[in-house]
Structure 1
Amino acid sequence: MASSFYSNAQHVDFESVLGMDDHGMVSMFEALMAFGLRGFLGCPAVVYEDALVDFFENASVRSGVVISTVGGQLVEISEELFAESFELPVDGLGDLSEMPKEAIFDARSIVSLSSEPINLSGRKNQMKMPFRLLCDIMAKAISVKAGSFNAITVEKFSLITAVICKIKMNWAKFLFGVLKKMVSAGSKQAKGFAIQISLLLATFPSLELGESSEFPESKVLTKKTVLRFVSINDRDGAEEVTGGAKKKAISKKRPAADVGAAVPKKKRSFKKKFVSSMELVEVAEEAIPIQQVAESLDVEEPRCSSADAVDLIIQQVLDETRAADAPADIAQPAVTEEKNWFDLPYDDLVKRWEAERPVVTASDTDEDLANCGCCSC
Structure 2
Amino acid sequence: MSSSLISRSHHIDFDSVFRFDDAGIVQMFESLVTTGLMEFMGCPAIFHESALIEFFANGSVRDGMVVSTIGGIAVEISESVFAETFGLPTEGLTDLSEVPRNLLSDGQSFFSASEKEVSTSCLKKEIKMQYRLLSDILAKSLFVKAGSFDAVTRDRFLLMTAITFDVKVNWRNLLFGVLKEMVTPDSRQAKGYAIQICVL
TM-score for the superposition, normalised by structure 2: 0.96
Q: Report the counterpart of residue 114 of structure 2 in structure 1.
A: 114
Structure 1 position 9, deviation (Å): 3.4
Count the aligned residue pairs: 200
Within 5 Å, which residues of 2 pair with 1:1-377?
Answer: 1-200=1-200
Structure 1 position 108, deviation (Å): 1.2
The alignment partner of 2:144 has SS state of coil
For structure 1, list consecutive stretches of 5 or more residues without a partner in the other structure.
201-377
Identity of aligned residues (%): 52
Structure 1 position 119, deviation (Å): 2.5
- In 1, the alpha carbon distance for the partners of 2:121 and 2:26 equals 27
- In 1, the alpha carbon distance for the partners of 2:146 and 2:156 equals 12
- 1:342-371 per-residue CA deviation (whole Å, 9 max, x = no partner) reads xxxxxxxxxxxxxxxxxxxxxxxxxxxxxx
For structure 2, list consecutive stretches of 5 or more residues without a partner in the other structure.
none
- 1:320-350 per-residue CA deviation (whole Å, 9 max, x = no partner) reads xxxxxxxxxxxxxxxxxxxxxxxxxxxxxxx
Structure 1 position 190, deviation (Å): 0.8
Structure 1 position 156, deviation (Å): 1.2
Deviating runs (4+, > 4 A) in structure 1?
none
The alignment partner of 1:66 has SS state of strand
- 1:41-69 per-residue CA deviation (whole Å, 9 max, x = no partner) reads 00001111010001000000011100100
- In 2, the alpha carbon distance for the partners of 1:198 and 1:84 equals 15
Task: Judge conservation of contact 2:47–2:194 (CA < 8 Å) in 1.
Answer: yes
The alignment partner of 1:68 has SS state of strand
Q: Aligned letter for 2:19?
A: G
Decide whether aligned partners of structure 1 residues 63 and 97 sit closer, same or farther in structure 2, where only a CA change above 3 A counts.
Answer: farther
Q: Aligned letter for 2:80?
A: E
- In 2, the alpha carbon distance for the partners of 1:77 and 1:9 equals 19
- In 2, the alpha carbon distance for the partners of 1:99 and 1:198 equals 33
Q: Aligned letter for 1:12?
A: I
Task: Judge conservation of contact 2:9–2:195 (CA < 8 Å) in 1.
Answer: no
- In 1, the alpha carbon distance for the partners of 2:117 and 2:177 equals 31
- In 1, the alpha carbon distance for the partners of 2:180 and 2:124 equals 28
Max Rg structure: 1
Q: Aligned letter for 1:63?
A: D
- In 2, the alpha carbon distance for the partners of 1:175 and 1:22 equals 29
Bigger RCO of structures 1 and 2 (CA < 8 A, at least 6 apart): 2
- In 2, the alpha carbon distance for the partners of 1:155 and 1:42 equals 23
Q: Which moved more, 1:32-41 or 1:113-122?
A: 113-122
Task: Judge conservation of contact 2:121–2:157 (CA < 8 Å) in 1.
Answer: no
- In 2, the alpha carbon distance for the partners of 1:88 and 1:38 equals 9
The alignment partner of 1:74 has SS state of strand
The alignment partner of 1:106 has SS state of helix
TM-score for the superposition, normalised by structure 1: 0.52
Task: Judge conservation of contact 2:61–2:184 (CA < 8 Å) in 1.
Answer: yes
Q: Report the counterpart of residue 216 of structure 1 in structure 2.
A: none
